[in-house]
Each structure stands twice: as structure tokens, then as C-alpha cells.
Amino acid sequence: MKRLAPDVFQLRGFNNAINVYLLEDVLVDAATKLARRRIMSQIEDRPLSALALTHCHPDHQGVAKVVCEARGIPLACHEADVAAMEGRAPVQQANPNHPVNRLIGRFWEGPPHQVSRVLQEGDDVAGFRVIHAPGHSAGEVIFFRDSDRVAICGDVINNVDFLTGRTRPGEPPKLFTLDPEENRRSIRKLVDLGPSLVCPGHGPPLRDIAKLETLAASFG
């Protein structure tokens, strides 16, 4: 694991492609179901109290059930994504019948699991404040720590260009985004928090916040 800030760690992964974080003793996100060995090997000696999702998409909930059952810990996500996590609604609600999303669902999506803690605006997770930031998914959240302004933002932004592989903050692909305009409002919300460090679901952590401000300003 790589330490990013006090009690904030990023699990090892392939080139920051799909990120998983540890906040104190709370695991944040669970990659795809193909990441079982990678995740389980890194948390085997770590005390865990919960697994919290930034949102319920196949590349973030993949081994949620495995981790929760193996470690006997509760699963938490925003109330708007509970039905998807529990199997009562599609996990990918944006363009679910697109061939790419069908493939992703087949190879990456993990099984349903009961949500034991339903997150709402203002809740506390490991010292981080829950901020509802919908758009990419209905239940997308940012975990924000006011003391040092660290933000775990899921897919509100990506810090990698999926076509070129270059590091740069940008909007998540529209193919996977339920409401792109709503997500733009959530990006502005992230900027307004004045973060010092932004840890996205894809791409390396972002410390040059001016680049994030430029992205938000480009929306007009």
C-alpha cells in the first residue's frame, strides 16, 4: 500500500487503473470481481470495520460481497445505490444494454450483497464527511476530511484519459454516466470544497488542484 495522507492509503494496482483506498480501518471501493486476490492479499493483516462504496458500478463493487463475508464487516453505500448493490436494480443504470456495458457486467460485476449501512449527506466514515455527488451514478458520494481537505471522489472525475493513458483530470465517460450535466454540478461541488488532495477512482491522486479548477471552468 502507498500512504497518501495520515491514515489514507492506496492499495497496489495496475497503473492506477481502478483504485481502492483504505481510510483508517474502512476499505473504500472493491474494484472488479477479478481483483479478489489483489485486494484480499493486501488487507489480510489489516483490521477492518467496514467497506464503503463511492458508488455501485461493476469496477467498484466487484469483490464487495467477498470482502464483507470473509472479514465479517458491514457494507455501506448511499441510499440511491442500495437497490443496485442488493440486486434489485441494474448495477450499471446508464446505457445498460450497450455492448460495452454488457461485457463489463459479465466480466467485472460482483454479486449482490446486503447494504448494512445506508449513507446519507453529512454522515461520518472514518473521519470523512459524506457528500452526495450524483451524476455518474445516482448514489455517487465524495468522502471529504475537513481537517486536511482530502477528498476521495470515486468517479466524479477521472484523472486519466482512457484513450491516451495520459494523466489529466476529466469527466467520466458519458457511456457510463447516468446524468452528465448533474455530474458537472458535482465536479463544481468538489472544487468548491477546496481540496488539497483528490483521490479518484481512476488515475493517480491529484494534488495540482488548479487543473481541477480549470476543468470546472471549462463547463461555462
The CATH number of the domain holding residue 177 is 3.60.15.10
Q: Which residues constitute the domain of residue 142?
A: 2-217
pLDDT of residue 155: 98
The vertex-5 CA angle with 136 and 25, nearest 5°, equals 75
How many domains are there within the chain?
A: 1
pLDDT of residue 207: 97
pLDDT of residue 15: 81
pLDDT of residue 220: 78
- Run means of pLDDT, 10 residues per run, the chain, 220 residues: 97 92 98 97 96 98 98 98 97 95 96 98 98 98 98 97 90 97 98 98 97 95
List pLDDT tens digits, range 77-126: 999 999 999 999 999 999 999 999 999 999 999 999 999 999 999 999 99
Q: Cell numbers for 24, please give them.
A: 483508517
pLDDT of residue 14: 85
pLDDT of residue 163: 83
